[in-house]
């Protein structure tokens, strides 16, 4: 048994397994499956990558899949991208790239670690500090929140994840329940009531109803079932992300060049300083792309609609480093404002259901036309649930247009079944924390950096695509931990976690996992892992995980604290930088 010292604590490593070695193997797999999506200039420096495990070379999560290793490998490739871009701006040099395995784990549960005035997402008074974006009470009312949950169907042993998204009423009515029920206050009673309604239907019936109502539900498949599905076969032929040319007529755009001025030759600093990003996203995965680009110095302006709901607490997490503004793209005056932002934007992030922004006139075709009109290319980054849209497999990717969320992707691909079997159940369980959301966000950031590098060196406009399903397929490709390691994890973690069942909510799963992780690995919750700053927007002290990545000669970190949605003017002018938040490496 290997013993790892964690300051004043000692923890035993499950078996002889090393997450550092696992991350190295995951990076090798990632480079292989990505293939020519990654510029040669990135892969040439892979020998400069190092994974450190100063906080313990061990598995932190009560999960069977290699979540830490997957996230760390993507962060390593992000570091290779940052180093290559820094070389374009500063001149070539050897640059060490280091990924902190503990901070990579914190990245995967960021929303559960963030606090505002010391209150986390589960604190009963935290809502008093946050702008209420739960316009339909789909989050704040427990009964309605459980319209997004995993339940057994009429056929024993077959499961379906219904999902009321951020609206809830349509899904509840679809299964024969009232949209609101003031008598439903108890957690177990709510679950029993909703599951009883779902059990009136077979999977096929739920699929038919779900399609008719346009809801984000999905049958809960085992990984082999997904691989054999038409959509699964199509997605297995794709890398975790794709970067494709949209047009090749606009000239190269060197980093730092804007309006005739060139500050590309920075001697130090953020590698994406001067890059402008318009983020059209909600919830976690898409906004994580923008948050990560902001950590590399990009100006990221998050655009949300005052008429569309969002999960309130996520503002504390994913708005870090950005400006936020509010526009209704169905109003001509607000469309004019977005059009003005786009005239000098470099990157546009689309985190909505495929086709939504196209219908509003802000899809890839419009961006391509604008790029050619201004003689400067765009990088268009699209993130969705099922993947396949706009790729060579689009015709076979039959689920590409379906709406979806992290839990939906976990249930579709077999990740939930892997988690349930690990917990000793003959049933699926959605894993703790929105890890596939954050992993997909990391892939989206990486793809954007590839697109920006290609625009700088080759010219043109580039379309970058990734999805929750593509991230999960990469995760599954790494394989589960061995039976021996899984057994040791079961012995280490709290029995209360393994008392969970398929229908327990993601909040309950996350709460119990967090309690167990806090007991076993207090280092993850220490000040060394976290950053603190004053948020003018929230008028509160905010705390969030530090970046897992360091790159020699480049800064990685945010220069402004989070703020509520819709806080800033829709402008590229007068962006503040808070002192003391990052330091030169």
Residue 231 near residue 187, CB atoms below 8 Å: no
**pLDDT average, residue stretch 55-62:** 96
**pLDDT average, residue stretch 353-373:** 94
Q: Residue 149: which of 123, 180, 128, 171 has the closest Cα?
A: 171
Q: Residue 504: which of 431, 417, 436 has the closest Cα?
A: 431
DSSP letters of 437-456?
Answer: HHHHHHHHHHHHHHHHHHHH
Q: Residue 575: which of 518, 536, 542 has the closest Cα?
A: 536
Terminal-residue alpha carbon distance, the chain: 37
Q: What is the DSSP letter of 480?
A: B
**pLDDT average, residue stretch 240-255:** 97
What's residue 14's pLDDT? 47
Q: How many CA atoms lie within 13 A of 313 on its CB side?
A: 22
Q: Where do the domains of the chain lie?
A: 16-132+232-259+271-551, 142-217
What's residue 244's pLDDT? 97
DSSP letters of 454-468?
Answer: HHHHH-SEEEEEEEH
What's residue 268's pLDDT? 56
What's residue 574's pLDDT? 87
Residue 445, SS3? Answer: helix
What's residue 582's pLDDT? 58
Residue 35 has pLDDT above 60, yes or no: yes
A 10 A CB-CB count for 330 gives: 10
Q: What is the pLDDT of residues 41-50, one digit of tens each?
A: 999 999 999 9
DSSP letters of 15-44?
Answer: TT--HHHHHHHHHHHHHHHHGGGS-HHHHT
Residue 281 has pLDDT above 50, yes or no: yes
What's residue 580's pLDDT? 64
Q: What is the pLDDT of residues 127-140, one digit of tens each?
A: 999 999 999 999 99
What's residue 424's pLDDT? 98
**% of the chain with per-residue pLDDT over 90:** 92
Average pLDDT score, the chain: 94
Q: What is the pLDDT of residues 435-486, one digit of tens each?
A: 999 999 999 999 999 999 999 999 999 999 999 999 999 999 999 999 999 9
Residue 15 has pLDDT above 90, yes or no: no
What's residue 6's pLDDT? 32
| 5 bridge partner residues | 10
**pLDDT average, residue stretch 525-534:** 96
Residue 14 near residue 492, CB atoms below 8 Å: yes
Q: What is the pLDDT of residues 100-110, one digit of tens each?
A: 999 999 999 99
A 10 A CB-CB count for 208 gives: 12
C-alpha 176/C-alpha 187 separation (Å) is: 19
Angle in degrees, CA 350, 353, 357, rounded to 5:
55
Q: Which residue has the higher pLDDT, 576 or 516?
A: 516
What's residue 577's pLDDT? 84
What's residue 256's pLDDT? 82
Q: Which fold has domain 16-132+232-259+271-551?
A: Rossmann fold (3.40.50)
Q: What is the pLDDT of residues 393-447, one digit of tens each?
A: 989 999 999 999 999 999 999 999 999 999 999 999 999 999 999 999 999 999 9
Q: What is the DSSP letter of 374?
A: H
What's residue 386's pLDDT? 97
């Amino acid at each position: 048994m290997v013993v790892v010292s964690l300051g004043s604590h000692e923890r035993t490593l499950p078996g002889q397994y090393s997450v550092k070695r696992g991350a190295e193997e995951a990076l090798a797999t990632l480079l292989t499956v990505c293939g020519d999506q990654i510029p040669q200039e990135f892969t040439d420096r892979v020998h400069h990558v190092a994974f450190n495990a100063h906080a313990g070379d061990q598995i932190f999560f009560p999960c069977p899949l290699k979540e830490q290793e997957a996230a760390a490998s993507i962060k390593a490739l992000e570091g290779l991208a940052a180093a290559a871009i820094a070389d374009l701006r500063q001149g070539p040099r050897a640059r060490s790239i280091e990924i902190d395995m503990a901070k990579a784990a914190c990245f995967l549960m960021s929303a559960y670690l963030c606090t505002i005035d010391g209150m986390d997402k589960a604190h009963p008074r935290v809502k008093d500090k946050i702008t209420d974006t739960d316009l339909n009470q789909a989050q704040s009312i427990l009964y309605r929140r459980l319209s997004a949950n995993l339940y057994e169907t009429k056929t024993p042993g077959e499961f379906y994840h219904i999902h009321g998204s951020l609206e809830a009423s349509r899904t509840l009515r679809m299964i024969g329940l009232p949209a609101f029920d003031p008598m439903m206050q108890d957690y177990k009673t709510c679950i029993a009531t909703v599951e009883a309604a779902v059990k009136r239907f077979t999977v096929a019936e739920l699929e038919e109803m779900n399609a008719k109502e346009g809801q984000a539900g999905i049958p809960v498949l085992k990984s082999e079932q997904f691989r054999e599905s038409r959509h699964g076969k199509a997605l297995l032929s794709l890398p975790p992300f794709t970067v494709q040319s949209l047009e090749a007529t606009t000239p190269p755009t060197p980093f730092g060049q804007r309006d005739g001025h060139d500050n590309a030759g920075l001697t130090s600093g953020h590698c994406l300083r001067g890059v402008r990003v318009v983020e059209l996203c909600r919830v976690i995965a898409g906004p994580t792309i923008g948050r990560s680009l902001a950590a590399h110095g990009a100006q990221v302006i998050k655009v949300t609609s005052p008429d569309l709901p969002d999960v309130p607490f996520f503002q504390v997490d994913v708005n870090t480093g950005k400006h936020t503004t509010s526009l209704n793209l169905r109003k001509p005056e607000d469309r004019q404002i977005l059009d003005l932002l786009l005239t000098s934007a470099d990157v546009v992030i689309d985190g909505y259901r495929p086709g939504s922004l196209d219908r509003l006139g802000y899809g890839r075709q419009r961006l391509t036309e604008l790029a050619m009109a201004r003689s400067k290319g765009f990088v268009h980054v699209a993130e969705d649930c099922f993947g396949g849209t706009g790729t060579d497999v689009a015709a076979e990717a039959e689920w590409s247009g379906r709406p979806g969320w992290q839990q939906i992707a976990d249930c579709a691909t077999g990740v939930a079944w892997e988690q349930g079997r690990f917990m000793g159940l003959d049933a699926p369980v959605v894993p703790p924390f929105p890890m596939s959301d954050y992993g997909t966000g990391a892939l989206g950031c990486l793809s954007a950096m590839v697109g920006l590098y290609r625009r700088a060196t080759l010219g043109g406009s580039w379309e970058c695509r990734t999805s929750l399903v593509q991230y999960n397929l990469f995760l599954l490709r790494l394989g589960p931990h061995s039976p021996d390691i899984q057994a040791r994890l079961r012995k280490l973690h709290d029995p209360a976690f393994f008392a969970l069942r398929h229908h327990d909510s993601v909040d309950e799963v996350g709460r119990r996992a967090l309690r167990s992780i806090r007991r076993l690995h207090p280092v993850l919750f220490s000040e060394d892992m976290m950053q603190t700053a004053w948020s003018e927007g929230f008028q509160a002290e905010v705390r969030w995980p530090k970046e897992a990545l360091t790159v020699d000669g480049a800064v990685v970190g945010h220069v402004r604290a989070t703020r509520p949605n819709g806080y800033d003017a829709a402008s590229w002018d007068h962006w503040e930088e808070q002192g003391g938040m990052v330091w030169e490496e």
